[in-house]
Structure formats: structure tokens, C-alpha cells
Structure 1
Amino acid sequence: MFILFLVLAFLASRILTEPLKLITEKLRQTTLTGQNEMLAYESEDEIGLLVREYNQMLLKLEESKQELATQEKEAAWREMARQVAHEIKNPLTPMKLSLQFLQRAIQDQRPNLDELMNKVSQTLITQIDVLTDIATSFSNFTNLPAMRPERLDVAPILRRCVGLHQGGAAGTGIRLTLPEDADTGRYVVYADESLLVRTFNNLLINALQAIPPDRRPEVEAQLQAQPNNRIRICIQDNGTGIPADVQDKVFVPNFTTKEKGSGIGLAVARRGIESAGGTIWFETKEGAGTLFCIELPLAG
């Protein structure tokens, strides 16, 4: 009788624990990304209740996966829309200031009107090309910006960007310092022109916006030759500086200290500059100003 009871107890334990082992195995295989299989158990006992609860959990998990996928798509679209809006907004303000500057020059009948019109027209055409490139990239749903590296002379690009921002009252405090041989074609890099234009525009706008209203703007854009066949472009302002507690977040996407900023510009600039084999960094002193520098290798 004792042996018989042992055999019956063993069989009963196997019968009772087998569904539990199956549930345990299914729980171990449950995943947030793959397809989960429901359990089939017809009995109305406690194990059946557990199986039904497990199946209900899988249904809720599937609903959560679909909702999460929808939220991720919406977040991706919002991120892209924010990035596109930021990239488009950057050239618009200096373009408006340049046109206003040209309008005042026409009203004042300045003697060098033809030269001013040619200069403003060239900078506006460059910015329109940048906007067209952004619109094309967005319509193709590709990464922004679409990199098309080529041999470029940095000096005239920097000159055009600074000239574009010198059209307004705040831009009168921008000074451009170029080497004496800037027009010899020595400072040629292998990069995307739209990327450089957007990066220079963004740094110049940030420099002007960092200066308090009660302080006379003093912004300097400088191009320098460096050892090891590299060049350095620096933009210095006399603004309020970057607080120490946020300095490590400057290049983080979606981080901004501006009320209407998107936090995209510097992140995009860093990604683009690094893709061209360069580096970007800053030095700052609270209350005194900030220096942003870009270093790029010269094209061979």
C-alpha cells in the first residue's frame, strides 16, 4: 500500500506540475518584439484560471506593442518635423535682414548699389539652394542633411555666411578675419557645402542670440591654418556664456536653453562635421562669452 501511494503521489504531482512547467516555459519565451503563442487549456480548475490570465496578458501585451509602435512612428515624425523646421528657420532670418538692408540701400540711393545687389543676390541664392536641399531630403524621407561631399574652398563660404548676417542692426557687430592668402584657394576641404553653410549660420545665429540686449554685439568669425594639414574656423561672441551645469548637454539632440529653440542645430552640426573627418568643440566663460571652433582636414 505504501509503494502504491508513492506511485500515485508521483503520478499526481506529474499531472499537476506539467501544466505549470508549460506555463513557466511560455513565460520565459514571452517577448516584446516577437510573436507570442497563447496557451490552450480547457479545464476550469486553478491552472485553467492561470492560463486564462496568461492569455489575457498576451492580448494586452499585443495592444501595448501596437500602441508603442504608433507612438514611435509619431515621435519619429515629430522629430523629423522639428529638425526640418529648425534647418529651414536658420536661413530665413538673415535672408530677411539682408533684404531689409538692400531695401534701405535702395531708398538711400547708395552709390555702390549694384555691388550690394550682387552680393545680397549671391548669398540669397546660396541659402535658397540650402532650403531646396532640405525640402528634397524631407520629401525623400532620408536622413537630414543628405551628405554630398565635394572639394570646397571654405574662405568664400564663410565670407558669404558672415555677409548674410551683417545685413541687420545686430549684425553690425560681426567681424570676419581671414588669412592674407584666403583668396588663393589654399583652404580647400572635402565636405558638403549645404552642411557647412547650415553650420556656420547656426553658430552665427547662436552667437548673436547669446548677447544680452543691453550689450553691444561683438562677434568674430576667424579662419586659421593649423599644423598637420588642417584648418580651424572659430566664432567668438561676447554673450552670457554657457552655464556649467548644461555644458555637457550642448550637443545633445532636443536640448536647448532657448525658449523657442529646438535643440537640433548643434547636434546636426556635430554629426555633419564629424562625418567630414573634423571636430567641433567650444570654450566658454559665464558672463564673458563663448568660442565655438571647427577643425577640418584639408583636401589632398
Structure 2
Amino acid sequence: MSIKKKIILSFFISFSIIATLAIAAYLDFRETRNEFKYLELAESIRGKTLQLRRHEKNFFLYGDSKEIDFIHRYIGEIEALIKDAKPYTRNDNLDRLDVKLKEFSLEFVKITSMASKFHKELDTLKPKEPSYLFLIPIIKATFLEHPMQNAQLLKRFFRISRKDGYITFLKRLGNDIKDLRKSGEKIIGISKELDRGARERVQNIINVTKVAVLVFLPLSFLIGFISLFYISHNIVNRLKKLMLTIEKSGAGFFSPMPFPSGHDEVSTLIRTYNNMAEALQVREELLRKKEEELMQSKKLASIGTLASGVAHELNNPLNNIHISAQILAKEMGEDCTGIIEETVDDILSQTFRVKKIVANLLDFARSKEPDFQEVNIVNIIQKRYTQAQKITGFKDIAFLLESPPEVFLQADQVQLERVFVNLFTNAADAMAGKGELHVKVFPEKDKVKIEVSDSGNGIPPEIKDKIFDPFFTTKDRGTGLGLSIVYNIIKNHGGSVSVESTVGAGTTFRIFLPRYK
């Protein structure tokens, strides 16, 4: 069977499965949408009834007329929600809630009317003693919350009898308030039942959907897997292998695929690729060799030119100048003026500085292989810093070393000494000869971690990635080879070096060295 027919067959099977699942999902979605809509309305009714009770309590507690408006507003909103929810269910609780809500509304209107009338008539009351007049505002403020207690106040401090209309009114008001609160509690109870019923219906829908998924999804997977197995075994697997092989080719690995036995389009494609891979493999090998030769020749040419030029053009004159200056310094007598002595000293120091620069250039160009021996890295660090302290720039620097007494590893001692000389010198320059130099050594099982931290001004982020580049420097003097030499030495030891720095907070160089070769 050709690939075209196989693709058409697989598409038809997949389309049939997807169409069936889509129809089932749509029907389930409609039912779920209606149930969630009803749940949303039930939750809204529940929330509105709670707000209704809250404003009811606030009205009886504070007697604020604004609470009356809130109560009527929430009654209207609940009635509207009941009307909206009825199309989604045949639930008797909605009818019960509607009836109770109307009863609550009528009772509340009756209570507010009675309260307004009583509030006006309180001003006509006369107390037994003029000093009891202060009780009238208290009664006005609390008779809705505590009608029976206020009835006792009226009998005790005002000129009324037990059978007086005020007392009867307050008793009736108290009973009406109790009835209203009972109606409110029933409304809350019905709204809870509505909310619980809606959630149960949604949960039922979810359970039915789960069962449908557990039944139909494995079935569809089984049918699809049978179809997919046949197609993938003949087409997809071979195309996948070809794709992986092509990806490897993009990375430079040209490996031919097993020779196909079929005669379809994929087999032809594999044969064509194998021919192309063999040709590319030959060309890649030739190109790699040519590139390596070219890079090596350029590197050797540039380094050879630099080393040769430095050695022949600078070393001999520098040595002559340095030796002559030394002789001149010895031959100077007491009759020599101060300017002559300063000049000779300056010649010696400057020639020494240039000789050091030349030595750095030669060290970088030569890049000797390490002579691995077992060394104590702690002794190397202590030795190099002790020698560095003799230099003027280190006198005001506080040195702190955190390390075990001995940490052994296989390394080139001379090259590691060069590493720490460069790192300590850079730290001293960064701190302008004053600050704290902190070295930590952490021995691990197969490697050693070393951190060299200074309290200098730090390295700006824009140049941090360049500090290991040859000849890159931010100082007025020097060649910019110190950290490049550090990087090459650590790399030749099979380790790594990185830097962390915050402007104004100092710099930390972190070195990892393997303990064994």
C-alpha cells in the first residue's frame, strides 16, 4: 500500500473517532453549562440572603433608615434570581423560598411602619421625674433590638400602666420581630438547600462525565492505537529515525541509516539521504582538517611573530639597559646629586616593569603543559601572599585565609603560584592597596574549590565577560594578560574559573581544580 492510501485511511479513522468524541463532548458541555448556571444562581441567592439578614440585623441594632432601602433592594434581587433560576430546574425549594420571601417582605413592612409610629409617639411621653427624660433617646435607639426590655423601662420610669398601648405595642412588636427572624432563618435554610442541591447536581454531572471518560477514552485509545501501530510501524518509525539522523547531521555527525528493503517513498528518501550523508561526511572531514590547519597556522604565526619580536627587539636592549643602570647605581659616589639617584632608580624600576611585561607576553605565547606533582595548595597560597606583602601595594591589606592546614592535589606548583600572584595583584589594584583579601579553600572528594574575594569597587556588568580575554585591561598600565594566563593555566589543569562581582561590593573569583589526574 502506498503512503497516500495509508494516510487517507489513518485520517478517516482519526476523523471518525474525533467526531464521535466531539459530539459527546458538546452534549455534555451543554448539560454541564446549564448545571453550572444553576449553581451560579444558587450561590448568588445564597449570598443575597446572607446580605439580607445582615442588613436586617443592622436595622434592628442601629435603626438606620438606610438599612430599610438595602433590605428592599435585596428582596427584589432575590426575587429576580428566583425567576431566572426556575427555567434550569423543577425544584420545590424555589417556590418555598419565593413564598417565604414574600412573607418576610410583608412582615418587615409592617414592623417598619409600627416602628415609625412608635418613634413619633415617644416624644409625647412624660416621665415620673424630669431627670428621666434622658431615657427617651435610649429607648428610641434600642426599642427595635430589645422591645421587651424597653417596655420594662417605660413601666418603671414613665407614667403608664401595664395595660397602656405602649406596652401592648412593644409586646406585639417583639412578637413580630421574632416571627420576622424566624422567616429570615427559614430563608437562609432554604437557600442552603438550594446551594447544596445545585452542588450535588454538578457533582453528579462530573461523576457521569468521569464514567464516560473512563469507558470511551480507553476504547478510543485502543482503536486509535491499533490504527497507529500499523501506520507508525511502516511509516512514522522510519521517518522518525530519518529525522533523528538528519538532526545529528546538522551537528556534524553523518551516519548512514540501515539500507531499506521496501520500495515506497520513504525507502527512496532513505537511500537518497545515505548517498548524501556519505558525500557530506567526506567533505566534512576534509573541511575540518583544513580548518584546523588554518587556525593552527594563524595561531602559530601570530604567537611566533609576537614572541620572536619581543625576544629579539626588546629583551636584549632591556637587559643592557637594566645591567647598565645597575652598574651606574653601584658606581655612583657621594658627590652625585639627588636628581641623578632618582633618575637611576626610575630607570631600574621602569626596565624591571617592561621586563615583567615581556615575560607575561612570552608566558602567554608559550602556554606550557603543566608538570603535575602532588602539592599542598594551602602552602602555595600562604607562600605567594607572604611574598606579595613585601610589595608596597599590599601593606595596608588585611589577609584572611579559611582552609584546613593541608589540601593536596596534583598540579603544577609553579603555574599555580603564577595564578595566585596574578589574582592577588589584581585584588590589590582593585582595592587601591587598602581593604580585605579573603581566600577560602573547600576540599571536596574529587575536586578543590577556591574563592578569592576582595573588598574593592567591583567589576561593571558590561565588561565582566571580557576580563579573561587576552590584552583586555581597564588599568593605565599592564598588558591585560594576567587573567588570561590564569584562565589558561586553570583550563590546562582540567579545572574552571569564574567571577562574581557587584559594583561597590567587591569581586570573587571562584576556581575549581580536580584533585587527581
Q: Does 1:144 align with 2:364?
A: no
The match for 2:399 among 169, 175, 187 is 175
Determine the structure 1 residue equivalent to 2:440: 222
Q: Give the Cα separation in 1 of the matches to 2:493 and 2:306.
A: 27
How far apart are 1:167 and its partner, in Å? Answer: 2.5
Q: Give the Cα separation in 2 of the matches to 1:80 and 1:176.
A: 42
How far apart are 1:168 and its partner, in Å? Answer: 4.1
- The structure, 1 or 2, with the larger RCO (C-alpha pairs under 8 Å, 6+ apart) is 1
TM-score of the pair, normalised by structure 2: 0.30
How far apart are 1:229 and its partner, in Å? Answer: 2.4
**CA deviations over 1:6-59 (Å, ceiling 9, x no partner):** xxxxxxxxxxxxxxxxxxxxxxxxxxxxxxxxxxxxxxxxxxxxxxxxxxxxxx
Counterpart contact for 2:307–2:365, Cα < 8 Å: no
How far apart are 1:78 and its partner, in Å? Answer: 3.0
Q: Give the Cα separation in 2 of the matches to 1:237 and 1:81.
A: 37
Shift in alpha-carbon separation, 1:244–1:198, aligned structure 2, 3 A: same
Q: Give the Cα separation in 2 of the matches to 1:161 and 1:155.
A: 10
1:120-199 paired onto structure 2 within 5 Å: 143-172=366-395, 173-179=397-403, 181-183=404-406, 187-199=407-419
Q: Residue 253 of structure 1 aligns to a residue in which SS?
A: coil
Q: What amino acid is aligned across from residue 438 of structure 2 in structure 1?
A: E
Counterpart contact for 1:149–1:191, Cα < 8 Å: yes
User: Aligned pair count?
Assistant: 175
Q: Give the Cα separation in 1 of the matches to 2:303 and 2:513.
A: 33
Bigger fraction of residues in helix:
2
Counterpart contact for 1:277–1:297, Cα < 8 Å: yes
Q: Residue 197 of structure 1 aligns to a residue in which SS?
A: helix
Determine the structure 2 residue equivalent to 1:280: 497
Counterpart contact for 1:162–1:174, Cα < 8 Å: no
Counterpart contact for 2:370–2:493, Cα < 8 Å: no
Q: Residue 273 of structure 1 aligns to a residue in which SS?
A: helix
Q: Residue 435 of structure 2 aligns to a residue in which SS?
A: coil
How far apart are 1:142 and its partner, in Å? Answer: 7.4
1:1-300 paired onto structure 2 within 5 Å: 76-78=304-306, 143-172=366-395, 173-179=397-403, 181-183=404-406, 187-212=407-432, 216-226=434-444, 228-299=445-516
Shift in alpha-carbon separation, 1:79–1:283, aligned structure 2, 3 A: farther
Q: Give the Cα separation in 2 of the matches to 1:261 and 1:163.
A: 23
Determine the structure 2 residue equivalent to 1:42: none
Q: What amino acid is aligned across from residue 156 of structure 1 in structure 2?
A: N
Q: Give the Cα separation in 2 of the matches to 1:79 and 1:286.
A: 36
Shift in alpha-carbon separation, 1:174–1:168, aligned structure 2, 3 A: farther
Counterpart contact for 1:250–1:266, Cα < 8 Å: yes
Counterpart contact for 2:440–2:452, Cα < 8 Å: yes
Runs of 4+ in 1 over 4 A off after TM superposition: 72-76, 79-83
Whichever of the two has the greater Rg, that structure is 2
Counterpart contact for 1:145–1:195, Cα < 8 Å: no
How far apart are 1:269 and its partner, in Å? Answer: 1.2
Q: What amino acid is aligned across from residue 217 of structure 1 in structure 2?
A: G
Shift in alpha-carbon separation, 1:255–1:275, aligned structure 2, 3 A: same
Q: Give the Cα separation in 1 of the matches to 2:443 and 2:308.
A: 36
Determine the structure 2 residue equivalent to 1:44: none
Counterpart contact for 1:162–1:176, Cα < 8 Å: no
Q: Give the Cα separation in 2 of the matches to 1:206 and 1:239.
A: 10
**CA deviations over 1:207-234 (Å, ceiling 9, x no partner):** 0001146xx32111222223x4221221
Q: Give the Cα separation in 1 of the matches to 2:416 and 2:495.
A: 12
Q: What amino acid is aligned across from residue 253 of structure 1 in structure 2?
A: P
Q: Give the Cα separation in 2 of the matches to 1:218 and 1:191.
A: 28
Q: What amino acid is aligned across from residue 252 of structure 1 in structure 2?
A: D
Point out where structure 1 has 5 or more consecutive residues left out of the alignment: 1-68, 86-130
Counterpart contact for 1:153–1:188, Cα < 8 Å: yes
Determine the structure 1 residue equivalent to 2:208: none
Q: Give the Cα separation in 2 of the matches to 1:221 and 1:193.
A: 18
Counterpart contact for 1:283–1:291, Cα < 8 Å: yes
Q: Residue 409 of structure 2 aligns to a residue in which SS?
A: strand
**CA deviations over 1:246-287 (Å, ceiling 9, x no partner):** 111111111111111211111121111111111111110111
Shift in alpha-carbon separation, 1:280–1:167, aligned structure 2, 3 A: same
Q: Give the Cα separation in 2 of the matches to 1:294 and 1:81.
A: 34
Q: What amino acid is aligned across from residue 201 of structure 1 in structure 2?
A: V
Q: What amino acid is aligned across from residue 147 of structure 1 in structure 2?
A: P
